[in-house]
Every structure is written in C-alpha cells, then in structure tokens.
Structure 1
Amino acid sequence: MPDSAGPSDSRAQQLRDSLDAVEQRVASACDAAGRHRSELTLVVVTKYFPAGDIERLATLGVRDIGENRHQEASDKIAELAPATRQDLRTHFIGQLQSNKAGAVAAYADVVQSVDRAKVARALDRGAEREGRLVDVTVQVDLAGDDAGRGGAAPADVLALAATIEGCASLRLRGLMAVAPLGADPAEAFERLHRTHEDLIADHPGATWISAGMSGDLEQAVAAGATHLRVGSAILGSRPALR
C-alpha cells in the first residue's frame, strides 16, 4: 500500500475528527426528527480517495463505503487487506452501464444505482456467475430532466422493482435518490418518501431509503432516510489528480 494506514498517523486523526463531526450532525438530526441513530447507516463515500484511507476508516469503525467508478473501485478493493475487505460492505453508487454491471457484481455488496431493467438483468447474471447475492436499490430521478445523474422516473419504479424481485441473485432493498441541483432537498426527499410508500405497499421488505449527502443529510434524516452517503464532509475535498 503506497501510504501508511496506521491508526496514529495525521491523516487518521483528520478522518477521526471529521467522522466525529458528521456523527454529531447525524445524532442532532435524529434528535430533531424523533428518530434513533440506530435506524441509519452511514455510507462513507471514498471515491477518488486511496485504499489507505479506506483502511484508516475501517480502524475507526466504518463498515460501509461507497464508490462510483468501476475501475477505480475494483482496483482499490483489490488493494485492501483481506481482513479489512471481509468486514466492509461496498456500495456501488455511480451510474451503471449494463456492460459493466457483471464486473461490478464481483465486488459490490450493494448496488444503489439500478435504474433500468437491462442493468438489473446484467447485474443478476454477473452475481449468479460469481455465486453472490447482491443487495439493490432502485435509483429514482427526482428532477425529471436530470439525465446526468441517472435514475428511473417515479412512475417506472414499481415495474423495475418487480423485475429486480424476479432476479434470483439480486435482493430488492429499497430506493436511492439524489436531491436535484438547486432544488429544496427537504421537498425532494419528501417526494422520495412518498414514492417509497408506494413501493413498500407491494414490496414490504424494501425498507431502505438512501438519501442525503454532506450538504443535505439533515433534511434526509427528517424525511425518513435509512442510509446516508457522505463523502467530502469526512474525507475532505477531492484530491488533485496525478
């Protein structure tokens, strides 16, 4: 590994401090919403950051990480110590093309960004080939025209969920969404919550709502999110490309 991942190095202390600050924000948001901290899973988004940071986060108790680019994620997961990898749950959160889905199934424990039946079927084939069961959330497009971020239209969610339920190597867990740029995140997450109510009426086990990032996690907690995807507030600004 190119950089030290020892628990006493300065980067580890930086991560500890920022992780503590985010945990305080989550706890305060839970108090304000009348919820228990145990209802939420914090997914630390490690995209663009090295495997050494994942090792450091693991020593701080982080068990869920998020990646959004296949090649980067695959390479970093391969770098991790076996004990670290065994204890981690890797969430793939980026836009996923059907031609990469099978490869992602080899290392991702959760794929949060399934937005088309073609992607679901390709992911299912890859998971079956690897002998794995992959947890899946349907990504919902809350903007209607936000093609750059992906997502299924709310009206298409139930049909896509049914497709996923029919895949032997996938397990439907719930919904994921990103608040549209420039929109009120509280209003966006309330719409996601309503879409989720429709989903669990047909799929009662699909209890996850993945919503909220560094800038809007409080609004997501208030709207019933079960998973928060937080990157820059913990790891800092994106490192310079080398």
Structure 2
Amino acid sequence: MTDRRSELAANLTAVRARIDAACAAAGRAPGDVTLIVVTKTYPASDVRILSELGVRDVAENRDQDAAPKAAECADLPLRWHFVGQLQTNKVRSVVGYADFVQSVDRSRLVTALSREAVRAGRETGCLIQVALDAGADGRGERGGVAPEGIEELAALVARSPGLRLDGLMTVAPLTGEFAGRQQAAFGRLMEWSTDLRRAHPAATMVSAGMSADLEQAVAAGATHVRVGTAVLGVRPGLG
C-alpha cells in the first residue's frame, strides 16, 4: 500500500505540474483547470489513496464498476463524474452516486435522468457530449450529439426538473476532419461553449483532454481535464 501511495503521489505531482505548465503557457491561472482522475478498472483502495492525496473529482464510465466503488467510498469528500455512454436502464443507479453526467447526448436520456433525479431528490449536473465525428445518424463513434443538436438538447436539460446544465464535453475523435488535430477539436468545442453560454450563462464547464492531450485542451480553454493512465498507470485488461 505504501508503494502504491508513493506511485500515485508521484504521478499526481507530475500531472499537476503538466497542468500548471500548460496554464502558464496559455496565460491562465492554474486554478482555472480542474483535474478529474478517471478511476475506471482500478479498485476503491486507489480512490481512497487519491482522496488522501487531495483529489476531489473522480470519473467512471461503467455503472457496474462505478456503483459498488462509489458506495465503498461514500465517506470520502468526492465528486463523481459519469463519463461513459449511458443506457437508460442504468440511469437510476447512476443518479444515485454521480454528481455529474458528462455524456448526455440524446433527449431520451435527459428524460430518464430528470425522472430519476426527481425521484431521488437530487440535482444532477449535466454536460452535453459533443461528437466531432458525428455521422449521418447524428451521433459519434464513442457517443455524443452532432454540433447542430447542442442547442436543442441543452434547452431540454435546462428546463428538466432535477437537472442542471453545466456545460459541454468532448473526446478527441479518431476519425473525420479533427482526427489527430486535438487542439483544433478542443478549440471548436470552446466556440460552441461560447455560443451555449449566451443562452445559458451558468453552463461554464468545458471538459476536454486526457492523459495524452491535456496540454492542447488547456491551451484551447478547457476548464476540466480527464486523466486516467498518467495518474493510475497502464490499465489492466477488462477481460
């Protein structure tokens, strides 16, 4: 445990230094960017160590892994972010522990989230996931709504009981015009965020960037970066 704590502490220090350097290069204050540690596939014991090391935001992408982990760590001062593609039959469980759902990408999901948030007496923060590689069906390879669908979906979230519209999220696409052009992709997300905030001034979160491209996200203006491997190490196989 001591070795693992030392490993995580060193990794966290390195990642925070990268964020600080990226902020300095972009003329931003370090406190402008929140680190979310993506703890998927890692045990609750790691989450507990991270909390002891000052981490306050953690993310998961599969409810079957996240729900028991969140329950085991319920005594910790953490904010839980759900970042994976979310099926409506998992919404009740996710609303029970997630402070934020960053992968809102269709109206049916908004309706389900609202219903369960009201039932649970919770307010759930929602980010619209934008697909920069959206196909003819209006969805991306890894989820997300096409850019032209942002306004309508955001308005639905904003008027839905139990939900709070917090901003936008994206994943750098592997295909399409933005493939391999992370900073351009994140810059476009910032343009859509600016448009969104004209109608919804409180929707200030911009979640973009991961272990390999957090610098580009910070340079573009992201408020939150989602980092897993650089903090926790190479992920074990999911089996």
Match of 2:222 among 209, 222, 225: 225
- The answer (yes or no) to whether the contact 1:102–1:124 under 8 Å persists in 2 is no
Q: Residue 134 in 1 paired to residue 124 in 2?
A: yes
Structure 1, unpaired ranges of 5+: none
Q: Residue 97 in 1 paired to residue 87 in 2?
A: yes
Superposed, 1:175-186 pairs within 5 Å as: 175-181=168-174, 182-186=179-183
Tell me, in whole angstroms, the C-alpha distance in 1 between the residues paired with 2:32 and 2:24.
Answer: 12
**In the alignment, what sits opposite 1:193?**
190
Three-state SS of the structure 1 residue aligned to 2:84 is coil
Letter in 2 for 1:24: A
- Pairs aligned (count): 232
Three-state SS of the structure 1 residue aligned to 2:75 is helix
Letter in 2 for 1:224: G
State the 1:183 CA deviation: 2.3
Match of 1:83 among 55, 61, 75: 75
**In the alignment, what sits opposite 1:203?**
200
Letter in 1 for 2:85: Q
> What is the TM-score normalised by the length of structure 2?
0.94
- The answer (yes or no) to whether the contact 2:134–2:145 under 8 Å persists in 1 is no
Three-state SS of the structure 2 residue aligned to 1:212 is coil
- The answer (yes or no) to whether the contact 2:197–2:203 under 8 Å persists in 1 is yes
State the 1:231 CA deviation: 0.3
State the 1:79 CA deviation: 1.7
Structure 2, unpaired ranges of 5+: none
**In the alignment, what sits opposite 1:10?**
3
Match of 1:112 among 93, 102, 107: 102
State the 1:148 CA deviation: 2.8
**In the alignment, what sits opposite 1:237?**
234
Three-state SS of the structure 2 residue aligned to 1:135 is strand
Tell me, in whole angstroms, the C-alpha distance in 1 between the residues paired with 2:48 and 2:236.
Answer: 17
Q: Residue 56 in 1 paired to residue 53 in 2?
A: no
1:57-98 deviations in Å (ceiling 9; x for gaps): 000000000000011000111222x431xx100000000112
Structure 1 segments of 4+ aligned residues over 6 angstroms from their partners: none
> What is the TM-score normalised by the length of structure 1?
0.93
Tell me, in whole angstroms, the C-alpha distance in 2 between the residues paired with 1:161 and 1:53.
Answer: 34
Tell me, in whole angstroms, the C-alpha distance in 2 between the residues paired with 1:37 and 1:133.
Answer: 28
- The answer (yes or no) to whether the contact 1:67–1:91 under 8 Å persists in 2 is yes
**In the alignment, what sits opposite 1:26?**
19
State the 1:102 CA deviation: 2.2
Q: Residue 125 in 1 paired to residue 122 in 2?
A: no
- The answer (yes or no) to whether the contact 1:90–1:109 under 8 Å persists in 2 is yes
CA RMSD after TM alignment: 1.2
